[in-house]
Structure 1
């Protein structure tokens, strides 16, 4: 491939003058939402949810250290002495306020309703709008109600808010783990408001403001905080436009999934703090696995130099015995087999945009080696590791993908080889040759010991010699790690077919043809759907492996999500649109994997630790995709991908596909 010289590019200094996206670009029409319908908004220091089916009702909220999951605010109205209730029941004759829709935006939730009745010779026709905004810097939220008169009559309006007797619980930051905190009774929750009565003139409107929280402490304007956050987080990312139905919205909703995991609480271990989930108070912790494992390039572009603080905070925790950190940096859980690989992946992406300290690379090496030593070598050659049972892996509910498995042994090889690469780039003086040799040994043994050529799949082996053929999506991670020779790769990819791993609306975490391991209840790792990051990551893997047709076939099945979710849930079905109605399905940082697949897979924009950028797009017959304004090491890159051809410009100058943009 030709190498473009640094002199051939015009230097672009500083950040783009305006962010490529505004808050309105992430707006979502709530009428399009599919189950689960529980919608939350966050400020960066707190979150709050609606009462489903109401126009004005507000449910639980969280603002660490405060948890108020059982708090409820309901609102009723009097119009000229006539009572109007919110949350009207379906059916003829109900005289309540009727929901008509609404809009989610990262900073607020707007809902609308209508009341239109003719009685006793008078028409009462009102539009009601509520805007729910979590406070930033103070526990609680604000609810602004606007009542508009659609007739020429004058009405006397009284609003009647009712706050439940629930109190807020103080929960230490170290205790905010996977499960949302339970209710408690430590601090009173108060309701504040201005006047509750008003006269609404003909074709006029009136506004009421309600506040709910534990203190009267001053708050920061949530709107301004969000505008600043969006400018920082997406300022280096490209805009995406396309005539392919759903692609553009899928990209935006993927970015929104990352934005709602963004916390800037002053008492958290880092600012920003990137939570695994957090909108409903659960998984406010940060897992090394999905923080670095699903969208390291996009997340690094979003964070800028703050990515180094994120890596440092995870290294400070004892990941040899923990899988995540609480908001204050406290380690949580047990040793997780994927933690070391994920951290190395995030560090590799960070190195592509800035110089890494050799000491950081050395610390990564120490953590990875120590983590490896925590898992016993297998009893055949000692090269592979026994990664234990499901508590250390990805929690398939039945026996199958456990102990000596192809993944994450394959990822371990990739991580060792990548550390050697980072050592070469930074001068960290790691035993690079030894690391590369170990990586090759692991890859060879994964195939020799675990590949079943007759079945065309990997076996997992238990300590007593028992083996299982579990057709888990985790096998494709071995393909990504570089362990698969061509015949093995071909056999794996043959399994990607409808009725097996492919559903009309995504991929299954376990092949539907695997009668022993496939199930429909717990879908993220056991079948009938998948963890939200897995589908786009599989597509990215296939693009990386030079299989663009299959890659697009996987990604196109996910595009419906951009039309029907404000942000992506933890998991979703693959045979029907939607996610399970029970359990915690709120939001997930792995939703960023969609943007990662589009940027580094479909568009083929791949940063490397030496600072160079390789661009090799993958046209699809379905239509045209344009990426505009990627800011990378003071370059501005645009890519147009059309059927049969591509156009790439760097700082306004055309370059050829496959050409390398050198580091500055």
Structure 2
């Protein structure tokens, strides 16, 4: 029995904030509702087919009188009026009302259910019309499908931007009949299909989703809490990962984890946000399939590409964070399975090649010049470019992690050299880039020009062990200038050179969705639980107002920009990562052991039940006064430092441990 069911992820559409365009996917295709309507349907994608300009509009004829489904505000409007609805991972249900008196009462309740097909291109739209009066009516549904066609787009071309509209294959509309007599208090259902070729059934999407939830969430714990907003935030974070999960048979892996994909854009997979934000949660979700995901990136040329298309083709330019993110995902994968030494050797070769792609600076030859914004995280101002603390610090962390993985697997990498290089990088970051007066890191350009860009990326240095305690204290002294009531800003509001409000992703007034929970996780890891909770709690509004998390969101007000394509993002999983590995202190280790050190908060209680790890079931109960950890129903005694060794280290190498502590 899976811990969660589809209904556990249901979302009341009345609570949605911009972006208002809501999509739903089946794992092989996606479709959007037509905003402002009860029954209208917008664009859809079912790779390799793209139909972004497809539109289905609905009107009704009631006793010969036309009722439109695009009601506008104002008195005297006699159209079908939207009355809310529910998003679920496999469908969108919308409700509408028509209640008019002209000689006699006409009162209709209309409910539409929009479901993308699984396994075939297109969607089904079911219209349930209920008569709320004692009068009988003759009802005719009048669908109008825009005269567009679906475009064949090679899987290698599904990159960041959604495929454009073009002519291609004919889109067909089918139905089960469009006219019926609706008796007093009666009800009728009309079913419309829009598809290319032979359609599957609407039920296929629900079955696929039930299987996906059982597979992806079967090993993750359920969370209950009396802390307002925490439980919903956790569920919506999980939903954010699930909507990026594709089981298309022609994709390079099954499942394929897209960066975004619901609106046809960013259906590709970035190594950076796949492995860099929620590696522990994603590894638990994927099980042994995580190795296929890692292999698909290793097979691409990351020295000149930032992502892979659904067929495995490399896309884009070299990304400075790809190597360390891939190491992070491999480290997480090592916790419960014996890794092949050849995999670690291949990972080392890829990291070495990527390292050579970014040349050493001309001072000491230790720090790397990571290029301009196209290779980094795309601030719009000059500042955090070229020789920067992050990702040089991530490179040092990755070298140490590779050395550890080599020791565990017997990959025979030059571990002494790797660790010495990591130590040199950490030392040079402080010697060359740390400005003690500013309490911040400078970035340096090839001609020697330096800048102080107060970017949230500086806090990533804390996570890598490259920030000595005195520097860490000064760095954290700036934390308050990044905090907004509803999240964090990617650039400090006090930085008048770089802060802006138009591009919130990496340039201020908001942040990429993974950044705030990752900052909270960093603070837990660095021993600042109060600060960590103060960051995480600012995000709980998102669980109440999004069915799945957008690419970025504001920090000073609830919501995301209404324009641009910011539909969904795999980094939304970082919320669950912060809760599980930060707040609950769950630490799977590459040697197969599992350590747990919860961080109680004064705000209330939470319970995590059903974490599955190496054949054991772990429950964690946390209260303001303490915590309890059960392994297979047995209470565990913490070590003197407060850590519970829930699963002991494996006898040798990477892999599952054989017994609980």
**Residue number among 186, 210, 213 corresponding to 1:227 in the alignment:** 210
Indicate the SS of the match to 2:335: helix
- Aligned position for 1:611: 592
- How far residue 505 of structure 1 moved from its aligned partner, in angstroms, is 0.1
Equivalents in 1 of 2:475, 2:596: separation in Å?
27
**Residue number among 116, 137, 157 corresponding to 2:139 in the alignment:** 157
Deviations 1:404-445 (A, max 9, x none): 000000000000000011111111111112111111111011
- Aligned position for 2:175: 193
Q: CA RMSD in A?
A: 0.8
Indicate the SS of the match to 1:228: helix
TM-score by length of 1: 0.96
Equivalents in 2 of 1:152, 1:475: separation in Å?
68
> Which residues of 2 match residues 178-257 of structure 1 at below 5 A?
178-218=160-200, 221-257=204-240
Equivalents in 2 of 1:440, 1:317: separation in Å?
29
Deviations 1:277-302 (A, max 9, x none): 00000000000000000000000011
- Sort the Cα spacing of 1:87 and 1:217 in 2 relative to 1 into closer, same or farther, 3 A: closer
TM-score by length of 2: 0.97
Indicate the SS of the match to 1:168: strand
Equivalents in 1 of 2:198, 2:366: separation in Å?
60
Equivalents in 1 of 2:489, 2:27: separation in Å?
33
> Which residues of 2 match residues 407-422 of structure 1 at below 5 A?
407-422=390-405
- Aligned position for 2:520: 539
Please state if 1:19 is matched with 2:2: yes
- Aligned position for 2:27: 44
Please state if 1:658 is matched with 2:639: no
- How far residue 555 of structure 1 moved from its aligned partner, in angstroms, is 0.2
Deviations 1:374-405 (A, max 9, x none): 11101111110000000000000000000000
**Residue number among 324, 342, 345 corresponding to 1:362 in the alignment:** 345
- How far residue 217 of structure 1 moved from its aligned partner, in angstroms, is 4.5
> Which residues of 2 match residues 584-663 of structure 1 at below 5 A?
584-655=565-636, 656=638, 657-660=642-645, 661-662=647-648, 663=657
**Residue number among 439, 447, 458 corresponding to 2:422 in the alignment:** 439
**Residue number among 56, 65, 72 corresponding to 1:89 in the alignment:** 72
- How far residue 136 of structure 1 moved from its aligned partner, in angstroms, is 0.7
Deviations 1:232-260 (A, max 9, x none): 00000000111111100000000000000
State whether residues 118 and 200 of structure 2, in contact with CA within 8 Å, keep that contact through their aligned partners in structure 1. no
- Aligned position for 1:551: 532
- Aligned position for 2:335: 352
Please state if 1:137 is matched with 2:138: no
- Aligned position for 2:654: none
**Residue number among 148, 153, 159 corresponding to 1:177 in the alignment:** 159
Deviations 1:598-645 (A, max 9, x none): 000000001110011110000010111111100011111111111021
Indicate the SS of the match to 1:207: strand
- How far residue 346 of structure 1 moved from its aligned partner, in angstroms, is 0.2
- Aligned position for 2:149: 167
Equivalents in 2 of 1:458, 1:94: separation in Å?
60
Equivalents in 2 of 1:654, 1:446: separation in Å?
44
- How far residue 659 of structure 1 moved from its aligned partner, in angstroms, is 2.2
- Aligned position for 2:652: none
Q: Structure 2: which 5+ residue stretches go unaligned? A: 649-656
- Aligned position for 1:566: 547
Please state if 1:511 is matched with 2:512: no
Indicate the SS of the match to 2:374: helix
Q: Structure 1: which 5+ residue stretches go unaligned? A: 1-17
Equivalents in 1 of 2:549, 2:215: separation in Å?
21
Equivalents in 1 of 2:191, 2:361: separation in Å?
64
**Residue number among 89, 94, 109 corresponding to 1:106 in the alignment:** 89
Indicate the SS of the match to 1:41: strand
